[in-house]
């Protein structure tokens, strides 16, 4: 973290209050609150924070969904993916607004994952759901990126993070589908209108 604040505390609030991030995308205006050193959103299932040192934190409780047989529970990859991209893009735009030029550490952590499934491609749930099961309690991915490359490298950085994250979930005897996962994520990123 920078030793000195990157901006005034009011700049955190103004950034969130004056951008589209406050309207249902990142910090809903109904849950946005001033906190010491920045601004935070206190939703029912999500918490987000932005502070003067450039720290962007997001926490989300993801509820399992059921497969076709209604007894097979798993976590939706889309829920994880969409939240990570929202957080990444908010950090990108904020750091651009304060003209920060240093390196940024991006980290994704999923907790309480042991025995849970996170299918990251299309599957036949009756036969393949166990191929996407975590045997770790916590899985994570991280990467260091120059702040001024966050936006331009999004199509490389986000797929690399998810390749790291999903590697330990893949339990099939076949090779890890890195190429297919990367292509899927790049395609989905290109369809996200808020990234334009």
DSSP labels, 127-138 = HHGGGBB--SS-
Domain count, the chain: 2
- Give the chain's end-to-end CA distance (angstroms, integer): 28
Do 148 and 99 fall within a single domain? yes
Q: Which residues pair with 140 in a beta bridge?
A: 109
3-state secondary structure at position 34: strand
Do 48 and 138 fall within a single domain? no
Task: Render each residue's pLDDT in the chain as its tens digit; 196 residues.
Answer: 667 899 999 999 988 887 665 556 677 778 889 999 999 999 888 999 999 999 999 999 999 988 777 777 899 999 999 999 999 999 999 999 999 999 999 999 999 999 999 999 765 555 688 899 999 999 999 999 999 999 999 999 999 999 999 999 999 988 999 999 999 999 999 999 888 7
Do 38 and 104 fall within a single domain? no
Write out the residue range of the structural domain in which residue 2 sits. 1-61
Cα 101–104–107 angle (5° rounding)?
165
Domain end marker among 42, 61, 80: 61
Predicted TM-score (pTM) of the model is 0.92
Half-sphere exposure of 193 (CA within 13 A, CB side): 2
Domain end marker among 19, 36, 61: 61
DSSP state letter for 62: -
């Amino acid at each position: 973290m920078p030793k000195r604040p990157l901006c005034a505390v009011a700049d955190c609030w103004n950034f969130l209050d004056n951008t589209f991030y406050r309207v249902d995308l990142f910090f809903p205006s109904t849950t946005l609150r001033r906190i010491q050193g920045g601004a935070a959103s206190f939703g029912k299932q999500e918490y987000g924070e932005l502070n003067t040192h450039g720290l962007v934190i997001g926490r989300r409780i993801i509820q399992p969904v059921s497969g076709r047989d209604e007894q097979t529970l798993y976590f939706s990859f889309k829920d994880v993916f969409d939240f990570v991209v929202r957080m990444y893009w908010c950090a990108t735009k904020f750091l651009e607004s304060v003209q920060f030029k240093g390196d940024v550490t991006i980290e994704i952590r999923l907790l309480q994952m042991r025995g849970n499934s996170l299918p990251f491609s299309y599957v036949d749930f009756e036969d393949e759901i166990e191929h996407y099961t975590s045997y770790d309690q916590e899985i994570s991915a991280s990467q260091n990126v120059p702040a001024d490359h966050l936006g331009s490298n999004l199509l490389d950085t986000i797929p690399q993070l998810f390749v790291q994250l999903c590697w330990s979930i893949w339990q099939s005897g076949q090779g890890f589908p890195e190429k297919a996962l990367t292509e899927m994520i790049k395609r989905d990123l290109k369809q996200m209108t808020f990234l334009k």
